[in-house]
Chains A and B, each alone.
Chain A
Amino acid sequence: MPRFSIPEQELVYSGHVACPGCGGGLAIRYMLKALGPRTIVSIPACCWAITSGPFPRTALKVPTLDTAFETTGASISGLRAALDALGMKDITVVGYAGDGGTADIGIQALSGMIERNTDAIYFMYDNEAYMNTGIQRSSATPFGAWTTTTPADMDGTWKTEPKKSMMAIVVAHKIPYAATVSIGFPEDFVRKVERAKSIKGSRFIHAFCPCPPGWKYSPENTIKLAKLGVNTNVFPLYEVENGVYKITMKPSKPRPVKEYLGTQGRFKHLTDEMIAQIQERTDKTWNNLLALEGFSKEHPYCGL
């Protein structure tokens, strides 16, 4: 018998219409493997509202509710309230939303949901732009990136603002559990979602999901980039449980960010100077995270 390092059960059917190499497709697959069949998913406007298939078909083997773009936090609050009212106890409620639906238009409903400590999981699959509408910048688009609304055809027309930190925002609500995951590390990914499932109250997962058409790279490189993002410290893997930070993967020798940036068309306009600047920012954020890990052991939710 083969032994699997993540659950074997598939809750996403084949036949969905995601692009080849879709990071979001792997994220929902791993997420549902970890959560199991007694799960209800709420999906707002995002790639997966479409790629999971048109009516009457669906690629998902769990009950699914489609909702308006900005509603995920409220929608999972309503699903939980109904389950509680109906006395259905053993069902996991999860919202599966993109970075635009989470960090931009949906942030109010998300904040409300976490502040009420709604017993549900909010899962943000982050492909770092509005990919479903054709690659427009979101507040989760990283500094320096090209998108169709940050055309990078002249100096300073790329994304000039840093990526919004959703982890910091949700931790500021004193959320019981928040974690970052990457589709490049399925075991770590599944372990964290399983951990989230075992906790009561609001939980938040931030998933790093490379996107071939949006990031301008060849589809076979999705996993490579998902790993490289972590190994360059551009997207560190960590979790925050009851305010205590724990970095779950510490590259012994982090790769230079140039290796990560250089393989993507969306960064091809970057000069060596800008790459050095991004390296510096990345190092600083990483060191901050290390400091948080050390300090929060004694001082959970430090700074709050």
Chain B
Amino acid sequence: MAKVVMTGNYAQSYASKLARAQVVAAYPITPQTSIVEKIADFVSSGEMETQFIKVESEHSAMQVCISAAALGARSYTATSSQGLLLMHELLFWAAGQRAPIIMGIINRAVAPPWSIWTDHTDSMAQRDTGWIQYYCESNQEVLDTVLQAYKVAEDPEIRLPVMVMEDAFYLSHTIEAVDVPPQGAVDAYIPLKRSPWVLDIEKPTRMGSFMGPDIYMEYRYIVAKAMQESRKVIVEADEDYGRRFGRSYGGLLPTYRCDDADVVLLTIGTASCTAKEVVDELRKEGKKVGLARMRVFRPFPEEEIARLASSVRAIGVVDRSWGFGYAGTMFTEVAGALYKSKSKPLMKDYITGIGGRDITPQVLRGIYLDLLKVREGDEEMEWWGLRRPEKEVKHNA
């Protein structure tokens, strides 16, 4: 293994090269750009053999990948925020067509107001499109997860597209040493093999034509079933990767010091590494706190959450996105998973880190201490660390 110092974005580029992506199509958007710039370097230096299509929009980037996948070529793209929102319609096409596309997402807040900093609204808004969603907490995990994503997406029983998320700037533009696995080992893990369920000039078929009410529902059910079954495949792909490369990430919902925890905080993305530090600190002070990280949001780890619920008094959810009109996006999902669970811990939703507001150790310490005090009947939702402009900002009279 070779250690290379790289950003989270370069980890995406290296992974797409290691995966031998045959078609790459992308459109620039901050903070995604360095992924495709690096791929352009790989292609021009001859290190990467790929059809790199410099499209005129994210929408076309997604369609190029969908059409390439229809012929059985391995494809890759990456985007952020507005670019992902522009793709929305085609995300359904990709999943409905069972196109195993891998897309890197650099989570960035959506406009207005313009923001280039991180939150998860962009990808959370794609929840129901039929894409598998991973959220990473380190550059190493980004590289490893892109490779795992191909393993899952191209599984004959799954055949679904996968998004691999990283937080803008915290990962995309921050460097760390990343183990780059040898090409031969990656080839053995995800061999490049054309699927039989693609358009074939020798056996003309049609992909995507319309269906009446007599069969449309069954077709969608088959897609839904593939998404359900991907849970198992995601865990297997992670374990297999661990055996081959010495790193695995604990499946859909890795936990940290939860065994005897009184309260558990549920985080997603880079806030998770900060939270682990805070857990260690609070444990030293004798407070029984733990952490669970939403590594995979779709398919949703409902069984893992129900298991977690059976042993804790309260679950706090740190939501870096907000569903207008109700609650934080993860909170509603976690609450839904507890409906079937026998034990129902108290819950509280902490909306924070929106639009790139730092989630510092102090912020998370405050949240843990609040969670430890939560009692029945308390407010279940709070925008944490909200500044009060009417009090703090003095207008010129």
Contact A86 B209 (CB under 8 A): no
A94-130 contacts to B, CB under 8 A, are 108-109, 111-112, 115-116
Contact A112 B51 (CB under 8 A): no
Contact B59 A81 (CB under 8 A): no
Q: Is B45 an interface residue (CB 8 A)?
A: no
Q: Given that A64-B206, A68-B93 are known contacts, is A78 also in contact with B200, CB under 8 Å in the complex? A: no
Query: In the bound complex, how far is the Cα of B50 from the Cα of A88, in angstroms?
Result: 14
The stretch of A48-56, A134-142, A163-171, A227-235 in contact with B is: A48-56
In the bound complex, residues from chain A placing their C-beta under 8 Å from that of B199 are 40, 63-65
Query: In the bound complex, how far is the Cα of B199 from the Cα of A38, in angstroms?
Result: 12
The stretch of A69-77, A187-195, A270-278, A290-298 in contact with B is: A69-77
The stretch of B67-75, B277-285, B388-396 in contact with A is: B67-75
Query: In the bound complex, how far is the Cα of B208 from the Cα of A52, in angstroms?
Result: 12
B54-68 contacts to A, CB under 8 A, are 54-57, 59-61, 63-68
Q: Is B253 an interface residue (CB 8 A)?
A: no
Q: Is A18 an interface residue (CB 8 A)?
A: no
Cross-interface CB contact of B54 among A54, A71, A116, cutoff 8 Å: A116
Query: In the bound complex, how far is the Cα of B151 from the Cα of A226, in angstroms?
Result: 53
Contact A79 B68 (CB under 8 A): yes
Q: Given that A38-B201, A71-B90, A86-B22 are known contacts, is A78 also in contact with B72, CB under 8 Å in the complex? A: no
Q: Is A61 an interface residue (CB 8 A)?
A: yes
Q: Is B53 an interface residue (CB 8 A)?
A: yes
Query: In the bound complex, how far is the Cα of B97 from the Cα of A78, in angstroms?
Result: 15
In the bound complex, residues from chain B placing their C-beta under 8 Å from that of A71 are 59-60, 63, 90
Query: In the bound complex, how far is the Cα of B200 from the Cα of A88, in angstroms?
Result: 11
Q: Is A85 an interface residue (CB 8 A)?
A: yes
Q: Given that A68-B90, A81-B64 are known contacts, is A108 also in contact with B57, CB under 8 Å in the complex? A: yes
B208-248 contacts to A, CB under 8 A, are 208-212, 215
Query: In the bound complex, how far is the Cα of B207 from the Cα of A1, in angstroms?
Result: 38
Query: In the bound complex, how far is the Cα of B201 from the Cα of A82, in angstroms?
Result: 13
Q: Given that A38-B201, A116-B53 are known contacts, is A75 also in contact with B209, CB under 8 Å in the complex? A: no
Distance from B172 Cβ to chain A, minimum over Cβ atoms (Å) = 26
Interface centre among B50, B72, B93, B209 (most CB of A within 10 A): B209
Query: In the bound complex, how far is the Cα of B63 from the Cα of A108, in angstroms?
Result: 13
Total of A-B residue pairs, C-beta within 8 Å: 148
A interface residue count range (under 10 / 10 to 19 / 20 to 34 / 35 or more): 35 or more
Contact A85 B207 (CB under 8 A): no
Q: Is B44 an interface residue (CB 8 A)?
A: no
Contact A67 B66 (CB under 8 A): yes
In the bound complex, residues from chain A placing their C-beta under 8 Å from that of B93 are 67-68
A146-167 contacts to B, CB under 8 A, are none
Contact B209 A78 (CB under 8 A): no
Contact B67 A67 (CB under 8 A): yes
Distance from A103 Cβ to chain B, minimum over Cβ atoms (Å) = 17
Q: Is B112 an interface residue (CB 8 A)?
A: no
Contact A82 B204 (CB under 8 A): no
Q: List 24 interface pairs A-B (beta carbons < 8 Å), by A numbering.
A: A52-B209, A55-B206, A64-B199, A64-B205, A64-B207, A65-B208, A67-B93, A67-B208, A68-B63, A68-B90, A71-B63, A75-B66, A75-B67, A81-B64, A82-B22, A82-B23, A83-B71, A85-B51, A85-B68, A91-B201, A108-B57, A109-B59, A112-B57, A116-B53
Besides A50-B210, A65-B67, 6 new A-B residue pairs in contact (Cβ under 8 A), listed by A number: A64-B199, A67-B67, A68-B90, A81-B73, A82-B73, A83-B71
